[in-house]
Structure 1
Amino acid sequence: MLDQTYYEKTDAILSEFPPEEKSLIPIIQEIQEAFTYVPPEILGYVAGKIGISEAKAYSVASFYENFSFEPKGKYVIRVCDGTACHVRKSTPILEALQSTLGLSKRKHTTDDLLFTVETVSCLGACGLAPAITINGEVHSKMTPEKMMDLLEGLKGEEAE
């Protein structure tokens, strides 16, 4: 069960859009931006507020890969596995991250909600391969060692 602040923030988001079906996607985008994911309870709440069924809201939200129903970490690390990155050895970077953070193909987010690791088909940075992003910031010509240095830096920021 979510606390009241989720509903208050959602009401603030809803106030920015007309209460109609065509507002659903931008509302969901704002909710994900605010909470790092789309809480299922909130999606049902939004459906009621804009006059559509929960089933319709879920079908829209689940259609788009970008929407997540599970909380993401403070740092979202996306490892490119497109052709250029894959050939330039992005897999060892992913494996090093998963091993270090205790993650797997099924578990993408650390228990402390600090890190989420995802693979993506392309970051559009093929000339910089292998590439990753951390919260949208591109890091190029990565190696497992460079990745571990970045990870340690992020952990250090949290300790301060």
Structure 2
Amino acid sequence: MRVIFPAAALLVLPSAFGDGIQFSRTIDTIADDSSWSLKFDSGCSSSDDYGSNDCSFAWGDEVTGNVDLSLGHDLDEGSTFSVDMKVDSIVPFSFSCPVCGANCTTTIPIVNQDVNFAMPPCPVSALDLSTPFDYALPADSPTKGVKVSAKGTLGVKDAAGATVLSGEITATVQ
């Protein structure tokens, strides 16, 4: 299974504590039969049951950590993940994509860049997963030093419409 949230947080929703990425998140709901934790090895000032929080990374930093996911039931065709955010408190960035069995396609606002990637085949089987990650941030800001912020919600629903995971994220990139 592709782990979507860490990549989304690092690639789509970055930060501004000086030049770099800063973000915080709140997990509102998680299915009773599931769990999720995203832990960074450094760069974060707090943590909770869901891992690291209040994180800042400079351009060029190596970002390392671990994602632990326990999915207690299959995600079948019709399961979705969604993003509903505002960029700089004004520009909407919202989309919903299938969790499996099709491509996810959206357009990043302001730069009008299309993003299209294949999701895994259905069903995404119940699983326990622990995956380390090691990601080097680019040496320079993709926003060329302009501060860009985003705030909103992320969520996953199963085919019956029950919430598997939902939360809020605030991020800034400079």
TM-score by length of 1: 0.23
- Structure with bigger helix share is 1
Structure with the greater alpha carbon radius of gyration? 1
Task: Identify which of structures 1 and 2 has the higher relative contact order when contacts are C-alpha pairs closer than 8 Å and 6+ apart.
Answer: 2
- Structure with bigger strand share is 2
